[in-house]
Amino acid sequence: MKDHIHAQSVRPYPARRHQSAQPYPDGAHDAGSRHKGPPADANYGQLLRATRIRGLIISEAIGITQLGLGWPYATGIWSRQQIAGWRNVTDAVHERGGRIIAQLWQMGRVVHPDFLGGRQPVSASATAAPNHAHTYEGKKPYELARPLSVDEIAGVVQDFRQAALNAIDAGFDGIQLHASNGYLIDQFLRDSANLRDDRYGGTIENRVRFLKEATQAVANAIGAGRVGVRLSPNGETQGVRDSDPLPLFTKALETLSEIGIAHVELREPPVDGTFGVGEIDPLARYLRPAFKGPLILNSDFDATRAQAELDAGIGDAVAFGRPFIANPDFPRRVAEGLPLAQDDPQTWFTQGTEGYLDCTN
């Protein structure tokens, strides 16, 4: 029986548990400014010291450029100040014997013009996300994005490459490309948001091209063994869905397997999920043969379900996010059958210690 607590390695960044902490909602930022890396006394670093995880932590998403970052107080990794701030976090993880990788995102059309000085956001096509954006002035409707030109796509690929190099400079053990949840790479992958008729649109091969180019560029820069990718195959997220997801994501995983990356994470909430719901049952069992490396499962797992999926060979590891917020000693609680504290959603993505450092007992 595969044990979801004890040792397994995910290539050069060894995860000493089958449990990965993924991702921590992180509001830490530099006081008096926006979109910067955590300061020396960041709540994030304090949380990690309290958590004592000796496994693999996947960070909350980190912006690669201002153009692609549209969340209040979210962190970036494009400046020397941000890199230095993240070094405090990675040092805290390594002091505890853990490993941490940087999840890198470009949000695409899910960036409100307020974050861009009034400029139009970008996407695969001229579309707008549904619902409202969180801005510093409150919620506002998303606005129409403009399609990236072919030359601009090449530029974003280089942005991912540089962000990966910056992450390694900041002490991260690797990176994960955020290609899920309706953000830019996902907007190219799935046909509800990709209406292009050039080599980045139409066929499955074309829609996978941007993911392939970004992943290959990052792998060339820092080594494929330090690179992972996150995908969300089984349902709509922020208005992005696909009419036939199984062949699309089979091709995506085959492509990533050829590049030889360290892992793929599948974020697939069940149809009765508690934080997002799938439109169909998770596709992981059907996608498993397409990827030859470690496959991480994510969304709405408890210890029992996680163990069952691992025993069935559907995945190689299970990522937990929300349980870690209120239970920094989550692996110990699972191993010893102890009850779990409940996290408070009202404290997610906030800038203070409440909900993070007051749940350590």
Which tokens in the block code for residue 258?
């050829």
Cα 254 versus chain centre, distance: 20
Here the tokens at position 330 are 């989550």
Cβ atoms within 10 Å, residue 150: 10
Residue of 44, 183, 200, 356 marked catalytic? 183
Q: What is the DSSP letter of 295?
A: E
Q: Is 286 a catalytic residue?
A: no
The CA distance from 167 to 209, in Å, is 24
Ramachandran region, residue 349 (left: φ > 0; alpha: ψ -120 to 50; beta: rest): left
Burial (0-12, 13-18, 19+ Cβ within 10 Å), 127: buried
- Secondary structure (H, E, C), 297-323: EECCCCHHHHHHHHHCCCCCEEEECHH
Q: Which of 179, 124, 120 is nearest to 149 (CA)?
A: 124
**What residues are annotated to the active site?**
183
